[in-house]
Amino acid sequence: SRIRPLSLAGHVGFDSLPDQLVNKSTCQGFCFNILCIGETGIGKSTLMDTLFNTNFENFESSHFEPQVKLRAQTYDLHESNVRLRLTVVNTVGFGDQMNKQESYQPVVDYIDRQFESYLQEELKIKRSLHNYHDSRVHACLYFISPSGHSLKSLDLVTMKKLDSKVNIIPVIAKADTISKSELHKFKIKIMSELVSNGVQIYQFPLDDETVAKVNTTMNGHLPFAVVGSTEEVSIGNKMVKARQYPWGVVQVENENHCDFVKLREMLICVNMEDLREQTHTRHYELYRRCKLEEMGFKDTDPECKPVSLQQTYVAKRQEFLVELQKREDEMRQMFVQRVKEKEAELKEAERELQTRFEQLKRLHADEKAALEEKKRLLEEDQSSFSKRRAAAQLLQAQSLTANGKKDKDRKK
Amino acid sequence: MLHLWIEAAGELETDPLTLMEEREKKERGIMGQDQEEGGKTEGQPANMNSQDSMTENEENCVELCTEVEEKGKEKGMEEGELKKEIELEAEVKLELCQSIPGLQMSLIRGTDLFGYVGIEAILDQMKRKTMKAGFEFNIMVVGQSGLGKSTLVNTLFKSKVSRRSNYEEKISKTVKLHSVSHVIEEKGVKMKLTVIDTPGFGDQINNENCWEPIVKYINEQYEKYLREELCVNRKRRIPDSRVHCCIYFLPATGHRLRPIDVEFMKRLGKIVSIVPVIAKADTLTIEERQEFKERIRHDLVANGIHVYPQKEYDEDPEDHILNNRIRENIPFAVVGTDKEHQVNGNKVLGRKTKWGIIEVENVEHCEFACLRDLLIRSHLQDLKDVTHNIHYETYRVRRLTESNMDFGELGLPTWPLENGTRDKCESESHL
């Protein structure tokens, strides 16, 4: 529908609207989250320190991590009246394992987790989105080893898995080990490999005329060859951030030496807001869409008529409740079954015990009877023996008295 | 800062080395500013609700407490020496996240930077993006016929945004809502302004329930937005037709609020930001006006009516003070016109009468300028924010609970944890 433009007869005052909006955002503060992926020791932490002109807490990681982990650290930075809540997420142990097949998974999981968190907040009934601490990854710096040849397969695989989830900005780390001519060839090789493998890296936006020119130029310098350093060396009468070698001094902020300044310009000064916007309107929306479709929500039913979310929700809920009920019934049945079985088992065992008991009882009775018999016999024996003994004693006594009489008689 | 940017972008084409020079200029500017302020080096733990917002998200994670004390010492500004030496004392306690394996979190507050980074450039970036996208503003005017609604809106926006009703038209039998949109532009800022008129309001003999069509319209706009927001395939920018501000016209009786005023504002104050104004205020003397306003304010409080700016939504003490001053002055007594007259050699907007010219933009004559400043120059974004963050959310909560749509019930798949703790986690998310 065409809406008529109208001309104003004087100054109304709504030109202050962008300022009103920006002031509000300034009061609330901004969130920015950077993910650094790169091998151990490639210079991720140093680069972050150099970029933000500060000293983040850094832990030197070992090379013996069994799995890739992610370490997230959040900082509140203040510059003039702007408050930035910066979260730096570093990979730990990336590229150290023998088998790197699953190396990308923890990174993908982390990114998805942040989207999930936001989605859950967004779908809550009572939600507070404008107070929400946005932890979604806005920019992913992928550190490429300065081999001078080409990308590693780990690099390609990882970037391919991430390119639809996050804004990837590839950088060549430790660029002071590559000569200018090698660097030029290296960059061309990297970009062509990315293109031929269909990896979509972040392109600096060209829609705003104010920055289109500088962004176009910078897009042609990708990937940025960076050198990081927080140490200072005196050059002329100034102290500059640099790395000192016996053969010379590599100045971090000298554009002839490396692309650090370009990275800082693009990442922070020119496109920070665009990175945040792309994350929210493209990557997050894609995640949300996939998630909802996974759960069975659609905007149109098979006949292509628009379906309200409520209808779908109610239908899904019914389905879910029915499913729940079914599972409950199943479980109840299974429970009853198991109880019966157990009961049967126990009864069987009882019976068995009973039989054995009876058996043993009988055995016992038999033995007892046998023993009683023996006892009786023994007693019989005993009694007959005592009778015979008594008889024998009697006889003996009789014979004795008979002998005594005889003696007596003889003596007389 | 904008002009610096254009300079930098222009110079980049010709001489890339000047990028650093620009930065140094900026750095000097920032550092100079900081010198004047005596070096703002105190960490600000109170402002950011970092603790609360963190615990909301990761209940099992414990953030650390840091005391960062910075002492800013400034060395003399030698030529080319632009650094400030800062001593950082940070006490850091790190606790590992329990529920998510392999994720460690730590939080440090108030870190100050050793030098200029360029973070503040985000303000310009944001400004450019919003200017490119344009703004939308929807304003509704409610009041009986003849109170000067259309004239006032036309005066506010200095153009014929609202069609004045034809005097020969019959008064409509019911309240009809009539919305007209225009695109207006000022200094590069484009705004799509929609004015929603409510002819017939309060004009009937029996005005019972005359607010119903209005309530229906407002809720319909919320519903439209909600539907778009709940789509699986969402638009990049959801068209916003929600009513951001409702100007309610009180006739200048000089007495107090009438029953229709009370009923209307009571009901609508709950779903939209109401700004009451005294219409055709040139029939009241200054004293009569003050007394009238006091009585109205009293009536508002007595009936529990909340008008904009609502006390409960003041975000910080500064806002509170500013808004209190506004609250002490509402309702604004306004006069509207689109005719210009000569006063003291200047062309001013005014109403000419036999006894003098009422200058609309003169704060001694009427409070039109205050209303304009409130609505447009200072609180326009706030009106939109209050509508989006509060009124719309209230509607959404009501709708979702009505339809029993609790996504948590469907067991929105929570993150799978190791060792089969998934079930435990799901049950926790229902709580």
Q: Are A1 and B173 in contact (CB under 8 A)?
A: no
Instruction: With beta carbons less than 8 A apart as the criterion, state whether A138 and A279 touch.
Output: yes
Strand-pair partners of B104: A71, B96
B334, B327 Cβ separation under 8 angstroms: no
> In this complex, is the C-beta atom of A153 within 8 Å of any C-beta atom belonging to chain B?
no
% of chain B residues with pLDDT over 90? 18
Cβ-Cβ pairs closer than 8 A, A with B, add up to: 294
What is the per-residue pLDDT across A237-295, written as a single tens digit (0 to 9) for each? 888 889 989 988 999 988 888 899 999 999 999 999 999 999 999 999 999 999 888 88
Q: Enumerate the residues of chain B whose CB falls inside 8 A of the CB of residue A208.
A: 128-129, 132
Gyration radius of chain B's alpha carbons: 28
- Residue B344 backbone phi and psi in degrees, to 5: 55, 40
Query: Taking CB atoms and an 8 Å limit, are B53 and A132 in contact across chains?
Result: yes
Within this chain, do residues A195 and A141 fall inside the same structural domain, yes or no?
yes
- Does pLDDT of A25 surpass 50? yes
Residue range A68-104, pLDDT digits in tens: 888 888 888 888 888 888 999 999 888 888 888 888 9
Residue A140 placed within a domain: yes
B56, B103, B236, B396: which to substitute to probe chain A, counting the most A Cβ within 10 Å?
B103
Q: Is A144 helix (H, G, I), strand (E, B) or coil?
A: strand
What confidence score (pLDDT) does residue B228 get? 87
Residues A147 and A48 both lie in one domain: yes
- Closest by alpha carbon to B238, among B251, B225, B249? B225
Can you give the pLDDT at residue A288? 92
Take residue A379 and report the two structure tokens written for it: 């007693």
Same domain, A100 and A193: yes
Of B292-301, B302-311, B340-349, the range with the lowest mean pLDDT is B340-349
- Across B2-11, B16-25, B101-110, B395-404, which has the greatest mean pLDDT? B395-404
Same domain, A117 and A209: yes
CATH number of residue A112's parent domain: 3.40.50.300
Q: How far is A345 from chain B (nearest CA, A)?
A: 31
Cβ of B123 within 8 Å of Cβ of A22? The answer is yes
Residues A188 and A267 in one domain: yes
Q: Are B387 and B272 in contact (CB under 8 A)?
A: yes
pLDDT value for A138: 95
CB contact under 8 A, B189 and A22: no
For residue B331 the two structure tokens come to: 């309702």
Query: Is A309 within 8 Å of B17 when comparing Cβ atoms?
Result: no
Determine which of A210-224, B6-20, B78-92, B181-195 has the lowest per-residue pLDDT on average: B78-92
Residue B88 has pLDDT above 50, yes or no: no
Which residues from A are below 8 Å from B39, CB to CB?
Answer: none
pLDDT for B158: 85
**Dihedral in degrees, nearest 10, Cα atoms A283, A287, A289, A293:** 160
Q: Is residue A249 part of a domain?
A: no
Q: State yes or no: ipTM above 0.90.
A: no
Confidence of residue A126 (pLDDT cuts 50, 70, 90): confident
pLDDT of residue B340 exceeding 90, the answer is no
Residues A279 and A373 in one domain: no
Residues, chain B, total? 431
Task: Assess A406–B contact: CB distance below 8 Å, yes or no.
Answer: no
Q: Provide the domain limits for residue A173.
A: 25-231+258-295
Distances (CA, A) of B90 to A90, A335, B114: 21, 59, 15
Burial A274-312 (b: 16+ CB within 10 A, else e): bbbbbbeeebbbebbbebbeebebebeeeeeeebebbeb
Asked if the Cβ–Cβ distance from A80 to B191 is below 8 Å, we say no
Range from A9-13, B65-69, B172-176, B306-310 carrying the lowest mean pLDDT: B65-69
Decide if A317 and B404 are in contact by the 8 Å CB cutoff: yes
> What is the pLDDT averaged over residues A338-355?
94
Residue A410 in contact with partner chain B when CB distance is under 8 A: no
What does DSSP assign to residue A79?
Answer: E
Q: Amino acid identity, residue B48?
A: M
Within-domain flag for A366: yes
Element housing B230 (H / E): helix B212-230
Q: What is the mean pLDDT of residues B201-206?
A: 82
pLDDT of residue B55: 37
Say whether both A224 and A347 belong to one domain.
Answer: no
pLDDT at A308: 60
Helices (H), A93-240: 105-123, 153-162, 180-196, 209-219
- The DSSP result for B111-169, as a single string, is EEPSS---TTHHHHHHHHHHHHH-EEEEEEEE--TTS-HHHHHHHHTTS--SPPPPTTS
Mean pLDDT over A191-215 rounds to 90
Domain extent listing, chain B: 132-163+173-202+209-337+367-401
**Taking a contact as any Cβ pair under 8 Å apart, which residues of chain B between 262 and 281 contact chain A?**
none
> Would residue A237 count as lying in a domain?
no
Of A16-25, A106-115, A305-314, B383-392, the poorest mean pLDDT is in A305-314
- What does the angle CA A163 – CA A168 – CA A173 come to, to the nearest 5 degrees? 130
Report residue A350's pLDDT band, with 50, 70 and 90 as the boundaries.
Answer: very high
Round to whole Å and give the CA distance between B123 and A361. Answer: 97
Which of these ranges, B4-13, B85-94, B190-199, B348-357, has the smallest mean pLDDT?
B85-94
Average pLDDT over residues A393-400: 88
Q: Do A125 and B130 touch (CB under 8 A)?
A: no
Do residues A352 and A225 both lie within one domain?
no
pLDDT for B410 beyond 60: no
Q: How many domains does chain A have?
A: 2
Instruction: Out of B5, B33, B57, name the one closest to residue A80 (CB).
Output: B33
Shortest Cα–Cα distance, B109 to chain A (Å)? 5
pLDDT score recorded for residue A309: 60
Return the CATH superfamily for domain B132-163+173-202+209-337+367-401: P-loop containing nucleotide triphosphate hydrolases (3.40.50.300)
Contact criterion met (CB below 8 Å) for B257 and B250: yes
Residues of B within 8 A of A295 (CB-CB) are 410, 412-413
pLDDT at A147 over 80: yes
Task: Say what the pLDDT of residue B19 is.
Answer: 59
Which residues share a beta bridge with A224? A171
DSSP string of A188-204, one letter each residue: HHHHHHHHHTT--PPPP
- Nearest partner of B110 among A50, A31, A25, A86, judged by Cα: A86
Alpha-carbon separation of residue B271 from B142, B222, B247, B337 (angstroms): 15, 10, 14, 30
The residue type at A1 = S
Task: State whether residue B159 sits within 8 Å of chain A by CB.
Answer: yes
Same domain? For A203 and A315 the reply is no
Q: Is the pLDDT of residue B172 over 60?
A: yes
Distance CA A300, CA A312 (A): 10
**B125 touches A: beta carbon within 8 Å:** yes
At B20 the pLDDT is: 63
* Residue A123: inside a domain: yes
What confidence tens digit (pLDDT) does each residue in B140-160 have?
999 888 888 888 888 888 888
Instruction: Tell which A residues from 253 to 312 touch B, by Cβ distance under 8 Å.
Output: 253, 255, 261, 264-265, 268-274, 277, 281, 285, 288-289, 292-293, 295, 297-299, 308-310
Collapsed DSSP state (helix, strand, coil) of residue A32: strand
A320 to chain B, any CB pair closer than 8 A? The answer is yes
Q: Establish if B348 touches chain A: CB-CB under 8 angstroms.
A: no
Nearest CA in chain B to A28: B48
Q: Residue B52 has what pLDDT?
A: 37
The distance from CA A215 to its chain's CA centroid, rounded to whole angstroms, is 36
pLDDT at residue A203 in the model: 92
Closest CA to A170 of A158, A178, A179: A158
User: Which chain B residue has the Cα nearest residue A324?
Assistant: B410
**Which residue did the predictor score with more confidence, B295 or B96?**
B295
pLDDT at A34: 94
| Together in a domain, A330 and A273 | no
A250 within domain boundaries? no
Structural domain contains residue A118: yes
Q: What is the pLDDT of residues B346-359, one digit of tens each?
A: 888 888 888 888 88
Instruction: Classify residue A53 by its DSSP letter.
Output: T
Residue B406: pLDDT band by 50, 70, 90 thresholds? low
Contact B114 A4 (CB under 8 A): no
Q: Does B366 score more than 90 pLDDT?
A: no
* A47 pLDDT tier (thresholds 50, 70, 90): very high
Q: What pLDDT is stored for residue A115 in this prediction? A: 94
With beta carbons under 8 A apart, name residues in chain B contacting A81. 120
pLDDT of residue B169: 59
DSSP B48: S
**Distance in angstroms (rounded) separating the CA atoms of residues B392 and B138:** 14
A81 touching B, CB under 8 A? Answer: yes
Q: A54 and A159, same structural domain?
A: yes
Mean pLDDT of the region B316-343: 84
B58: pLDDT strictly greater than 80:
no
Backbone dihedral angles phi then psi of residue A123, each to the nearest 5 degrees: -90, -5
Q: In what order do the strands lie in the sheet with B245-250?
A: A4-6, B178-186, B189-197, B135-142, B245-250, B274-278, B332-333
Residue A374 has pLDDT above 80, yes or no: yes
User: Which distant-in-sequence residues (6+ apart) come within 8 Å of B65 by Cβ?
Assistant: B91, B93
Chain A interface, mutation test: which of B25, B160, B230, most A Cβ atoms within 10 Å?
B230
Interface probe, candidates B381, B401, B427, B428, chain A, greatest A C-beta count within 10 A: B381
Q: Please report whether residue A190 resides in a domain.
A: yes
Domain boundary among A266, A295, A324: A295
Q: Which chain B residue has its CA at the smallest distance from A50's CA?
A: B117
